[in-house]
Chains A and B, each alone.
Chain A
Amino acid sequence: MRLVPSVEQTGFATTLHDMLSAARVPEAADSWAEGNHGPGRQLWTQLADLGVTALAIPARHGGLDATPIDLVIAAEELGHHAVPGPIPETLATVPTLLAALTETVPGGEAERWLSELAAGRALATLTAPPWLPFAVDADAAELVLLVDGDAVGTARRGTVHSSMDRTRRLYEVESAGPVEICPAVGRALDLGALVCAAQLLGAGRALLEAAVAHARTRVQFGRAIGGFQAVQQRLADVAVGLEFARPLVYAAAVTLTPRDVSAAKVACSDAANRAARAALQVHGAIGYTQEHGLGRWVTKVRALSLSWGAPADHRARVMAELTKGATWN
């Protein structure tokens, strides 16, 4: 078992990082927050060109049949750049549900949607209570699903709610047609939670990088504030949290057990939230302004840690799994 990325996987992350660094993500996110999805959709087209949207889709439907490790490596980079849009939904959960449905209902709509998603022509979102009471970005998504137990069907948007993350619009939905029984719901939701954990890890890393960059250049009392022990000690703790959350993400990508996915989600939420608090504190008032942009990560981290199973849900699940089986391995 390998718990570190291969050279190819590291190269993929670098390619993605370079593309996103050049792609004006902040402007796309601001437009997305204002309801103009155009620049954001261009960004998603660029992601599709690099294969990101095809990772979790079987080859026979135009996908790349990639491993969950590839998926978390991509998701971490999307979190690193705070890319807007329904990321776990479009990249992981909906493709997994659709791929399973093509087995039980061959020749159905699911096949067409898989091709659309793989090519980056469609975004997908869903609700799946209790983890996902709302469908995020249902106004931007071509495909909206409602998952209830192991029943999956299409849905139409209802009431919209705003999030503390201005790029996330949360929709209540209602069933819009017949449902199919899907045997892959558990796996699909676990994959989504894992992708969300990886996004949190990447966002936490971005927050630490921003805090370090600011601390090295911001001068007060005649010296860079990064030289002060109070700042150093706090940022070191952030680095420790992120360093030890990462192996849980890779381990969960290998096993995909509910226990390991939940452990990864808890650890990444904690590490990213600690990074957010520290980064905001190190920046001071400038970080609290919309103009600065740090808030895109600060608000996204909190929203994502509550989504895809809140920390309490995942901690309860870890203990339930430990009670079911051996704690040793």
Chain B
Amino acid sequence: MNLDLDPAALAFRDEVRGWLAANAPRDPLPSVDTPAGDAAHRAWEQRLAGAVLAVVSWPGRYGGRAAPPLHTLLFEEEYHAAGGPVRIGQNGLFLLAPTLLAHGTQEQRDRILPPMARADEVWAQAWSEPEAGSDLAAIRSRAHRTDGGWRLSGQKTWSSRATVADRAFGLFRSDPAAERHRGLTYLMFDLRAEGVTVRPIRQLDGNPGFAEIFLDDVFVPDADVIGTPGDGWRVAMSTAGHERGLTLRAPGRFVAAAHRLVSRWQEQPDPATRDRVVDAWIGAQAYRMHAFAALDAPPTEASLTKLFWSELDVSLHETALDVLGPHAETDPSWTGGYLFALAGPIYAGTNEIQRGLVAQRVLGLPR
């Protein structure tokens, strides 16, 4: 569709397209969760940052170009169309950074954001715990007050990228007398600090995509608290929409996948799968148009969006596997995406939790 882009947007899109055509890796990089892949993905991020394309929406002082939201959408479309690598820094870039920009101190932003943008520092998230999954407010890991900071103890799990990351962020119970959402503090900590043990967890695809983090009296200075101690839940939730809300869910990712699926179907048209291929394309197009419409509208409840893209991702990849038939099993370009898609309805708040939020917050049904 002709989006009637203004000259600045067109120029930006052309710049991104041209740069990616000249610079994007022709062959897939090694898995991001291996040592070789870690190095290759960090090197890739350095090149992106060198072209001021790593974080286009951020202010210039942190490595961005203060681009408007439309440009971010266009960047993501071009990035996924070019088959750009997984963003190794995505937890930091799209989850921690918005929190710092909203609640961090100037000192924190200046110290943390520029190395994040260059992937000199890669961040892992540390939300879930063995007894706090969908029920995130059941967090038990403790932050004890000490001179000049806090001491962290407890166990975090399902921590994406923790095996290769440098630092992590998460919620800790700083007031043991307070219950549930109260008495939590948002803290950042060094994964190589004394008292931190990271144990990789192999995912169902065999790769160590996430990890357990054990914390044994780990010191964190006051400078690494985001927001007010005890106010962590509010700080975390005010930008939680960003995980449900960007990059992994960038419309460009789904449009690119739908484009590949349609092209593959057209090579050997089979009436038995046609309608499902069309539905995958329509879903991606709906998601894309929804994102463009959202630029001119009040924010959509992030739960609606998360439900749509995560279910679309699964059905699109299921359709692709059925289109390929028995050959799909040996085609990692689709099986990898399929296995990754299966995680979508689980992470960032399961889809059952999201449906509950839609029912209560959007539809006004009783709690």
Hey, which chain A residues are within 8 Å of B366, CB to CB? 216, 223-224, 226-227
> In chain A, what residue has the closest Cβ to B292?
A3
B interface footprint on A221-239 (CB within 8 Å = 1, 0 otherwise):
0011011010111011101
Identify which of residues 196-237 in chain A touch chain B, using a CB-to-CB cut-off of 8 Å.
Answer: 208, 212, 215-216, 223-224, 226-227, 229, 231-233, 235-237
A3 to chain B, nearest CB (A): 4
* B interface SS class: helix
Is B179 interfacial (CB 8 A cutoff)? Answer: no
Contact B359 A233 (CB under 8 A): yes
Known interface pairs A233-B356, A233-B359, A312-B275; A251-B282 also in contact (CB < 8 Å): no
Cα A240 to Cα B4 with chains together (Å)? 27
* A interface SS class: helix
Interface residue tally on B, bucketed by range = 35 or more
Cα A318 to Cα B300 with chains together (Å)? 28
Contact A232 B282 (CB under 8 A): no
> In chain B, what residue has the closest Cβ to A223?
B366
Is A260 interfacial (CB 8 A cutoff)? Answer: yes
Contact among A1, A216, A237, A257 with B307 in the assembled complex (CB-CB below 8 Å): A237
Known interface pairs A216-B366, A227-B366; A247-B359 also in contact (CB < 8 Å): no
Interface size on A, residues (CB 8 A): 46
Is A276 interfacial (CB 8 A cutoff)? Answer: no
A24-32, A132-140, A284-292, A320-328: which lies at the interface: A320-328
- Chain B residues within 8 Å of A, Cβ to Cβ: 1-4, 81, 255, 258-259, 262-263, 266, 274-275, 277-279, 281-283, 285-287, 289-290, 292-293, 296-297, 300, 303-304, 307-308, 352, 354-356, 358-360, 362-367
| Contacts beyond the supplied A1-B2, A1-B4, A226-B365: 20 A-B pairs with Cβ under 8 Å | A3-B292, A3-B293, A212-B364, A215-B365, A216-B364, A223-B366, A231-B359, A232-B363, A236-B355, A239-B362, A244-B286, A248-B289, A250-B289, A254-B1, A255-B2, A315-B279, A316-B274, A318-B281, A319-B278, A327-B259
7 CB-based A-B contacts, threshold 8 Å:
A229-B352, A232-B359, A236-B358, A244-B283, A247-B286, A248-B285, A315-B275
- Chain A residues within 8 Å of B, Cβ to Cβ: 1-4, 208, 212, 215-216, 223-224, 226-227, 229, 231-233, 235-237, 239-240, 243-248, 250-251, 254-255, 257, 260, 263, 266-267, 312, 315-316, 318-319, 322-323, 327-329
